Structure 1
C-alpha cells in the first residue's frame, strides 16, 4: 500500500508542473540527444555510410523510424527525445554494436551515451531550473 501512495504523490507532483516548464525543457532534451547522435555517427564504422545515416533523433510526440533499434517505430513520449539506429534499409545496427559469432563488436551507441550522459543530465537539470525560476508563481 505504501508504494501506491508514493506513486500517487509522485503523479500528483508531476501533474502540477506547469506546461510552460515542460515546454521549456524540450529544446535542452533535443540538443543533448543531437550531441549524442553526432558522437555516434563519428564512432560508427563506415563502409557505406548507411548505418551512420540511419542514426536519428526523434523529439517528443513524433514517431521513430520504422525498423529502428530499439523496438521499431513508436511515438516518443512528451518531454523526451529518442535516439534510434536503423530504418527500413538498415537493420543491422545491433549486430555492429554487439558483434556476432563471425564479426567483432564495434560499439558506437552505448559509448556515446556514457560519454554524454552526465553532461546531458546537468544540462537538462539547468533547463528545468531556469524554467521553474522563470515561471515561478504563474500557476498552470
Structure 2
C-alpha cells in the first residue's frame, strides 16, 4: 500500500527518534518535579496536622508505577510512560479530600449532626505554586531533546 503522505515513513521515524531521545531526559525530571510538588504539599498540610498520617500519605508515583490504595484519584492506578502522579491518602489516611475542601454540617437519620471543619487546602495550592515553573522546565528539556534528536 502506498504512503498516504509522501515521506510519512521518514516523518514517523524522526518522531520516534525524538520520543526515544526525550524519554531518558524527561522521566527523571518528571519524578523530580513530582517530588517538589509533594514537598510543598507536606509543608502546606502541616496546618492541619493531628496525627501526621495525612502528611505521610503524600506519595509520588513515577512512570509505570502504581499509586497506593485509597489514594486521591479514587483507587490504584498505573502512571503512564511520561506521567508522574502525586497523590494524598492511603489505607491509613482516607481523609485528604475532607481536609482539602472542608466539611459542612450533615443531619443523620437519628437527628444528630456532624460538625464542620474549615477547609485547609494543601493539594491544589501546591500544584498552583509550582505549575508554571515546572511546565517551563519540562518545555525547555523537551525542546532540547527534540533539537538533539533532529540533528
TM-score interval, normalised by the smaller of the two chains: 0.7 to 0.9
Q: How does 1:1-140 map to 2 (within 5 A)?
A: 17-44=18-45, 45-101=48-104, 102-137=116-151
- TM-score when scaled to structure 2? 0.77
Size of the aligned set, in residue pairs, is: 127
Q: CA deviation at 1:133?
A: 2.4
What is the distance in 2 between the residues matched to 1:33 and 1:134? 25
What is the distance in 1 between the residues matched to 2:15 and 2:66? 24
Show structure 2 runs of 5+ residues with no match: 1-13, 105-115
Query: Using a 3 Å threshold, how does the CA distance of structure 1 residues 50 and 130 change in structure 2: closer, same or farther?
Result: same
- TM-score when scaled to structure 1? 0.83
What is the distance in 1 between the residues matched to 2:74 and 2:134? 23
Show structure 1 runs of 5+ residues with no match: 1-12
Query: Using a 3 Å threshold, how does the CA distance of structure 1 residues 99 and 14 change in structure 2: closer, same or farther?
Result: farther
Deviations 1:67-92 (A, max 9, x none): 00022110011101000001111100
Q: CA deviation at 1:14?
A: 6.8
Post-superposition, which runs of at least 4 consecutive aligned residues in structure 1 deviate over 3 A?
Answer: 13-17
**What SS does structure 2 have at the residue aligned with 1:66?**
coil
Q: CA RMSD in A?
A: 2.0
2:17/2:149 contact within 8 Å kept: no
Aligned position for 1:7: none
Q: CA deviation at 1:29?
A: 1.1
Q: CA deviation at 1:24?
A: 1.6
What is the distance in 1 between the residues matched to 2:121 and 2:103? 12
